[in-house]
Chains A and B, each alone.
Chain A
Amino acid sequence: MITIFPDILILLFPFVMLSLKLFLKVSLKTQENFAVGYFLVVFVTLNFILLGQNHFYLSNWKIDSFGIFMREIFVLSSLLAISLSHNYFNSSVSLKPKLLNFSEFSASVGFAAFGGIVVVSANDLLTLFIGLELATIPMYALVAWNKRDSEGTEAAIKFILTGSVATAFELFGFSYLYGFSGFITFPEITNAVATAQVSPLLWISLLFIISGIGFKMTLFPFHLWAPDIYEGAPTPVTAILSVTSKAVAITFLTVLVLGPLHSVQKEISPFLALLAGATLFVGNLGALSQSKLRRFMAFSSISQAGYILIALLGNTPNAKYSIVYYLFLYTFSNYLAFFIFSVVGKNQAETFSALRGLSEKNKFLAISLLIALMSLAGIPPLAGFFGKLQIFTTAAENGHFFLILFAVLNNVLALYYYIQVLKSAWIDKPEKEIALSIPTKQKIIILILTLSVLLLGFLPFLSNNLSIAFL
């Protein structure tokens, strides 16, 4: 029973938050503490679930090891996003008006997390679709959260319009998949795919589905929205977009590709490989000459999406394991970067020049930034490297050497632009002095994240625990 318990808790969370505000009228501070505490509890509960077994509820609510780990990632991401948003609700940050309605905000975050959970638990197309939408629609709202900021609204407009087009692709693809197999439940689709003659219907549906999800996962060329939206949205939302939203998308693909479509994985591998290669290349190219931090992070996360996609070329247990492992480390590194950006951008726009002189003002932040970015760039012994190594190993087992060579060479480009950021923080002298203060809570979180990024890769604790569950 405990296995479904966290799901229920997450589902309840938005309602609890809303009632806290509506009926109990508690203060913002209590709301924040409660939300963080709530997610912490869920996270801890998730850790108690025994791994290695598959549970089914209501016949198609599947909970397996992969699902539990993905839940942990969603919860972790929400937890960090809510902690990150603390500043934004209490004061104006980055020269933008402060955010309002924390309870609704965290409720939306909760919904999005639940959407992810639905996706990972789905055992039929309908659940999958609902999950995806549940994860997406709150994002639209979240992007537009700062009503008084015109950039945010504009970003949200772009997001929702392009997103709806993607949804249409998705739905169209699903309809063909349904038409091809005659079922929407996975076991039947699996059968149909495995036994059927090769049919254009299947491939066209796959093309549409992958294009549709390519939007969420920012795959080339469906990624164009990302920079604008990442830039326009409030920073915590950007963080959620880059972590939760990507995690949901890759989960979606994993559930499909390693699930019902398992038997045609060989045939779609070249497509996925091309997608991955193009995505990480374009992401890296785009990031080369940016000057705004969040826009930069958008391109960085586009290329990260390319890397994650490579994992799908591997065999089932390894691929799932690599995705989970990578996402964990990516979550830490990415949030660490966003936390630092939010501290730096407290009183100024979040641009590269805001970072100038960081190493003199605050060594701790500067070192954390170094660790975060080098981890994202995949430099050992930081966490990001081990995630990438895992992914490449997975793909190498199926012989995708040239993609791997291409991907690792792309790392050089990535290194270049991360170094650009580091240059601002470590080398350049500040133009004007703007004081920097870190609230203790944030300091602790940054410290924890820094340590995790520093150690979780090199120390085998995380990877071995994960691998026991999968392999």
Chain B
Amino acid sequence: MNNLISHSYLILLLPLLSFIINGLFLCFRHRKMAAILSTSLSFLGAVFATIISVNFFISGAKPILAFNYEFLPFTGTLVATIGCLLDSLSAMMILTVSLISFAVHIYSIGYMESDQASGRFFALLSLFVFSMLGLVIAPNIFQTFIFWELVGVSSYLLIGFWYDRPSAVSASKQAFILTRFADSFFLLGIILLSYITKSFVFSDINALRLENFAGQMISLGIIEIPTSDALIFSTLLIFIGGWGKSAMFPLHIWLPNAMEGPTPVSSIIHSATMVVAGVYLVARLFPLFAISGNVLEIVMIVGAFTMVFAAVIACTQKDIKRILAYSTLSQLGYMMLALGSARVADSSIHILGYSAATFHIFTHAFFKCMLFLIAGALIHQVHSNDLNAMGGLRKKMPWTYAASLIACLAIAGIPPFSGFYSKDEILISAYQAGHPIIFACALFTSFLTAFYMFRLFFLAFHGKMRSIPKHPVHESLLMTLPILLLTIPTLFSGFLFKGIFHNFSPEVPLSLAKNLPSATFIPPLAITFSVLGILLSFLFYASKKSNPAKALDSDNRNAFYKIIYHKFYFDEIYYAFVRQFILGGLASFARFFEEKIFGTLVTFATTLIQKMGVLVRKAHAGSLPFYIAIMIIGLLFWYFASNLPLQGA
């Protein structure tokens, strides 16, 4: 075991190696080589990650600091290090990320086969995986931030992978800028936090007590606030980082737009890397959040709102990837909600929320990855993202059909698939911690989830084919294999691992909630809602009477539907904000100030001197009497101006 741990740097090294070799040498010419190299390295990584995490859980799940290399010392105890912290949370994430990455790598070989730039794709994919792994193993918040940013930039590069498509370019830009916007608050939060605690290390941060700062004040420039409030404030700022990365409302718009990237990228973004980073961050700093007053409530409300909001939009979309994207948003909302609901009203902690959230990260990763891979396979088939172009594909793609049924059942929360277990716990947690409204929302959303997932399912696979594919293809082995492989965790990860996640409990300096109400009624209730959703969906889209073409028609609809269909016009609001307020307002004013006001001042000064120069030049016009007169006037002038004591004593 120790031997293994001492080699834990391999977790980072393998994808990094793949990135460097691919990026520098194989990228342009040997794309086959690149694919093989990075897939095999990712296979090694997956194997290694499995061994390490299995070992970790078997040997008692004690947190271990595997290595810690000093990166940059600041002052005193404030040292930035790059290290590897193995605990339950990170071991789980390492496993998830590595497995998903491996699956996506295999899938990409098939998916990117015809793309000339696939070498670059594999290089960037490795970078993405590297960044996410670095993020999850971080033992300190500074490292988290470093890899957090790397995740952001590699997602930027991957979303904009097809950089000659303007839509991809603008989507990647939007993703980067929005997350960067959130990250700037994150950085501020880190700096504020580290200023207060004099440490970046999670174990120090998570051991903080507000009482230790009683009576201290800290200046935030305009105002001076008690240090304990500043601590809470910094927690909030850090959460804003996660807010952006996990695409919570209203910073959510980049995520659906990010679908412009290649499908494997979407798949990995939505399942294991990028978006769960925000949830992971909150989970990682859970003790800090728990003591930080109402921040967890904010987390909960933001999560709950996003959950419902995204689910509603998902019900109307036609683009399958977008539907999946909104479903991700909704599921992320679940996770956030779970984390947030862990705080009971009397400021004790119901730890189930924490374990449910982490559990949901785990289960969601597999089935969401799978769903995206399926979507990719569909798109490959019909060369379109639009549900209008699909329908009746179950005959052409039987394996995919079967797999997607499993995935949809999993996400809809039907036992015994994995989604049921985690979602069930979230519902229980919300209920037990005393948030009935949130609980109701979650229940409703599980109904919506089932509805829109099966809407997708029925419209894509059932009914008649609405278009004839130009180049019909068979299910290729390389693309179907990972999908089928992923059905295994989708089927079993729920009931197998439930127990492990119940042991996930960070050391929270608050009392655990007692006297919880019984929640035995919840699982049947949740199943009922899901089944209702499926039935309704069947009724609308797959029964004999249904008319899929009309169901997909978005033009002849009432205003309410249209608003939802247009995603509540948030894209437009965003663009208007950026164009009118940032570019048109702030930046234009800045330029106006620079060029018109300040520039005019500079020009005025130079013109003034020029004019004076011309005046002097004109004075020397060659008139002799004038010269003599000036000499005499000069004498008089100096008589008065020379400061000599001429008037005498």
Contact = CB atoms under 8 A, between A and B. Distances in A.
Check if A and B associate.
yes
10 tightest A-B CB contacts, nearest first: A288-B613, A200-B648, A221-B634, A271-B642, A286-B616, A270-B643, A285-B616, A224-B627, A203-B644, A285-B613
B613 to A, nearest CB: 3
A274 interface: yes
Interface stretch (A73-81, A99-107, A156-164, A336-344): A156-164
Contacts of B630: 221, 224
Nearest to A224: B627
Nearest to A155: B622
6 contacts: A161-B624, A162-B627, A200-B645, A200-B648, A288-B613, A290-B617
A200 B628 contact: no
Contacts of B612: 285
Interface string B616-641: 11011010101110111111011101
A198 to B, nearest CB: 5
B646 interface: yes
Interface of A: 157-158, 161-162, 165-166, 169, 197-200, 203-204, 206-208, 210-211, 214-215, 220-222, 224-225, 227-228, 267-268, 270-271, 274-275, 282, 285-290, 413
A222 B642 CA distance: 15
B516 interface: no
Contacts of A289: 610, 613-614, 617
Q: Which of A224, A282, A288 has the most CB of B within 10 A?
A: A224
A162 B628 contact: yes
Given A200-B648, A220-B634, A158 B624 contact: yes
B649 interface: yes
Contact of B633 (A162, A221, A225, A268): A221
B647 interface: yes
A267 B634 CA distance: 20
Nearest to B614: A289
A286 B631 contact: no
B583 interface: no
A220 B638 CA distance: 10
Contacts of A158: 622, 624, 627
Contact of A208 (B617, B635, B641, B645): B635
B631 A271 contact: no
A214 to B, nearest CB: 8
Mostly, the B contact residues are: helix
B621 to A, nearest CB: 9
Contact of A286 (B613, B624, B628, B649): B613
Given A162-B628, A207-B646, A274 B641 contact: yes
Contact of A198 (B634, B637, B639, B649): B649
Contacts of B642: 207, 270-271, 274-275
B609 interface: yes
Contacts of B637: 221
Contact of B638 (A197, A198, A211, A290): A211
Nearest to B606: A416
Nearest to B629: A224
Given A203-B644, A203-B645, A285-B615, 15 more contacts: A199-B649, A208-B635, A210-B638, A211-B638, A221-B634, A224-B619, A270-B643, A271-B638, A271-B642, A271-B643, A275-B642, A288-B616, A288-B617, A289-B613, A289-B617
Given A198-B645, A286-B620, A165 B628 contact: yes
Contacts of B610: 288-289
Contacts of A197: 649
Contacts of B619: 224
B629 to A, nearest CB: 10
B639 to A, nearest CB: 6
A199 B617 contact: no
Nearest to A166: B631
Contacts of A198: 645, 648-649
Contact of B648 (A162, A199, A207): A199
Nearest to B620: A227
A274 B627 CA distance: 21
A222 B631 contact: yes
A131 B619 CA distance: 31
A274 B624 contact: no
A285 B631 contact: no
B624 A157 contact: yes
A200 B639 CA distance: 12
A256 to B, nearest CB: 15
Contact of B644 (A162, A207, A225): A207
A282 B645 CA distance: 26
A341 to B, nearest CB: 19
B616 A267 contact: no
A200 B647 contact: yes
A26 B432 CA distance: 125
